[in-house]
Amino acid sequence: MRPDFPSFCDTTAKALLAFAVSFPAFASAMTTGDNALRFHIMLGGQHVGAAQWQWRAGGEQPYFADDQELRIAQRGGGAGASHRYRIERDPKTGALLVQRRLAAGPSVQEDEGRIEKGRLHLDRSLAGQSIGGDVPADAVMPYQLIGRLHDLALTTSRESAFPLFDLDGLRTTNARTAACGENSAAGLHCVRLATPTRREDWYFSADGRLQRIESEFAGLPMVMLRCESDCDRRVAQQFDVIGHLVVASPYRIPKDAAQKKLRFLLSREDGQTPVLVPTGDQLVVANGAQAVVTVCRNCGEAEVPSAEELARYRQPNAWVQSDHAEIRRLAARVGSQKHSVDSRMRRSVALMIKTLKPETGYIGYADALQTLRLGRGDCIGHAMLLAALARAQGIPARIVVGIAYADRFSGRRDVFSPHAWVQAWDGKRWISYDSALQDFDSTHVALAIGDGNPNQVGEAFLQLSRLKLERVGVVKPD
């Protein structure tokens, strides 16, 4: 399965943690029933990393292990991102032991738990929370998936539907398979695996050997090619993901213009209509395959959130830990709740700027607590912690992801870089605040809104490599 690195500013990282990391609790000797595959990983046609799978589908101790490493360039140098997944059955208790480790620079997410009596229990996670979910008895496990897709690829009918336990998201998801065409020249048979969050095409040879898996990463074609030799080949050149995600501006935008009402004409290279979201600061009008976007304070139509929506944006979650003691102590420094929401949010921004050191690289999908403990943050880290400070004060706050005219995080001039900021509910409108760039201005174009969960911004993020800014200009006063 493809790497599930979080879907926004974490596409690059500062440090690479190799797969030599030991997980003693999950160590087990290989037996004759074990299988192994190695892959080269290609992104946008360039060799960017490697992967290794090991699994045993039968017996009392089935297991699956997946190690992957990507070498990705970023501003200020850097190494990449990595993940390590493992699931195996405990022969004594019958429980399935699960471990996941995602690393992107100093941002490291570690989870460890078990599936027992039809439920996932996470005993340890970086967020310090114990969470879980139901796992149906008929859910297909990762060590069973390879064999199932192999059998489907070699049959005439490849359509099926089943619950799949996904190690990427540590949850059960609905999976479907279908035929994805034949590569007759190479004699390959293809079966497509689709879930609500991803799509992969698995290609098998006539004798049933898995040859490659095609998918997408950061909006770019990604291919895992089976490696028979030279499997330890090093990446010759780190892949510049950010270069593919920034959106070039047709003009240089002066600082004074950024404070005025701006209008953008956006399109996509694939001819589809850009995915955007209307907000109180942003009016979106579709014009065929183009989108006309007007941005300024209160340019958009006022939203009317439901009580349930406001409650959700007040609550802590795994990324915005507003109930944690360390974050609540920091929020207490903002001041009395007698002050207006705008006053408290501006004080929170000032506190963020004072508390966090500038971080010019993309350090990973750091959550609020990680950002606070690191003492520095990129745009995602700033947004998570700012939202946590707001929620700790009882202010509904949501995360906005999009693009902004800035070179601080991408290191490129005259471009709109991937960005994130916060909107807080003042009782009448959602108001935007940006502590990473120190101020919200009219160059912020919103693509998606969520509560901090990276899976909520996938579609919007994947379009960045295809997004094109045709025109931008100041709207003259009426």
Predicted confidence band of residue 288 (pLDDT cuts 50, 70, 90): confident
The pTM of the full predicted model, rounded to 2 decimals, is 0.68
Kindly report, residue by residue over 443-475, the tens digit of the pLDDT.
Answer: 999 999 999 887 677 667 778 888 999 999 999
Predicted confidence band of residue 2 (pLDDT cuts 50, 70, 90): very low
pLDDT of residue 75: 52
Give the C-alpha distances (Å, rounded to integers) separating 65 from 30, 216, 346.
12, 21, 47
Kindly report, residue by residue over 416-446, the tens digit of the pLDDT.
Answer: 988 899 999 999 999 999 999 989 999 999 9
Which residues are within 8 A (CB) of 297 and not within 5 positions of it... i.e. 6 or more apart?
281, 432
Looking at 29-33, 135-139, 246-250, which range is the least confident one? 29-33
Rounded CA gap, 118 and 52, in Å?
29
Predicted confidence band of residue 59 (pLDDT cuts 50, 70, 90): confident
DSSP characters for 93-130?
Answer: T-PEEEEEEEEETTEEEEEEEEEETTEEEEEEETT---
Looking at 127-136, 169-178, 441-450, which range is the least confident one? 127-136
Average pLDDT, the chain: 83
- Candidates 3.40.50.80, 1.10.600.10, 3.10.620.30, 3.20.20.70; CATH matching 246-474: 3.10.620.30
Q: Above 70 in pLDDT, residue 5? A: no
Rounded CA gap, 277 and 65, in Å?
39
Kindly report, residue by residue over 78-110, the tens digit of the pLDDT.
Answer: 556 788 999 999 999 999 999 998 876 656 778
pLDDT of residue 147: 94
Return the domain boundaries, the chain: 9-226, 246-474
Q: Above 80 in pLDDT, residue 152? A: yes
Q: Give me the mean pLDDT over the 302-331 stretch.
A: 93
* Nearest CA-CA partner of 407 in 394, 420, 398, 416: 416
Contact present, 313 and 397 (Cβ < 8 Å): yes
Assigned token pair, 199 = 């799509």
Assigned token pair, 232 = 């330890």
Kindly report, residue by residue over 28-55, the tens digit of the pLDDT.
Answer: 333 346 899 999 999 888 898 899 999 9
Give the C-alpha distances (Å, rounded to integers) separating 121 from 62, 67, 144.
19, 23, 21
Assigned token pair, 36 = 């192994």
Rounded CA gap, 350 and 122, in Å?
36
The helix or strand, by DSSP H or E, that contains position 70, with its residue range, turns out to be strand 63-71
